Chains A and B, each alone.
Chain A
């Protein structure tokens, strides 16, 4: 059961606001006194997820649920979806456009970084409908 739940909207191609949801979540966790190692991992996952939605996902949202023993991040969008999830999870694989690559995105590190930094990770996607990513973080995790 979530003690606190917040929702933030993410808009396609909105690079000006991209990252703001993750910054708000980071500040919230900080105010709650969550350990910096956990905040760092949540911030990495939130940022990568937000950038994925901005670049590939159409419109979407990021929901954070703070529970007594864990934090849940849910990133959901109504974009084009991912046809081959294992391929999308491969380090270095990216479908980012040339323009995004010039901006320093599209290294094919986003989804693998999210999986690496979360304590639990699940992704499902339907082509033409969108993608959901769920990540859990244990508040007692020793993971750095």
Chain B
């Protein structure tokens, strides 16, 4: 499933793991460089690595701003939560892929790690 650079695109990953793309489809060719999990926005804003896929249970519109500011590849809303209509609208406007996963954040993070998205944050420990 990986391309020549060894990193999956959002679309490839969605297909592989059965993630539903709910918005921002025009950004689905972005490559996933890293991963991050978090529901506390200050933590995510301060620590999520660029190019990451971010797993959260937050579904409100501000998550799109955080994803843009951190230059993320995609957002996954886990735990069966549903994004607000405004979130879908903003993600479409900005071309930030917004995905859904019915299981827990932990379960999805494990799957991502297993396929080589290790989430090694260079800022770790700061």
Contact = CB atoms under 8 A, between A and B. Distances in A.
B43 A18 contact: no
Interface in B82-126: 86, 90, 123, 126
B39 A104 contact: yes
Contacts of A104: 39-41, 44, 56, 58
6 contacts: A19-B62, A19-B66, A47-B65, A51-B62, A109-B42, A113-B45
B65 A144 contact: no
A123 B40 CA distance: 24
A103 B42 contact: no
A47 B56 CA distance: 18
Contacts of B39: 104
B126 A47 contact: no
Interface string A20-55: 101100100000000000000001100110010000
A18 B70 CA distance: 15
B96 to A, nearest CB: 11
Chain B interface SS verdict (over half): helix
Given A16-B86, A19-B62, A48 B42 contact: yes
Contact of B43 (A15, A19, A109): A109
Interface in B44-70: 44-46, 56, 58, 60-62, 64-66, 68-70
A19 B46 contact: no
Contacts of B46: 44, 109, 113, 117
A110 interface: yes
A68 B108 CA distance: 46
Contacts of A48: 42, 45
A19 B90 CA distance: 12
B40 A103 contact: no
A113 B41 CA distance: 12
Contact of A47 (B66, B90, B123): B66
Contacts of A20: 65
A93 interface: no
A67 interface: no
Nearest to A109: B42
Given A23-B69, A47-B69, A113-B46, A15 B41 contact: no
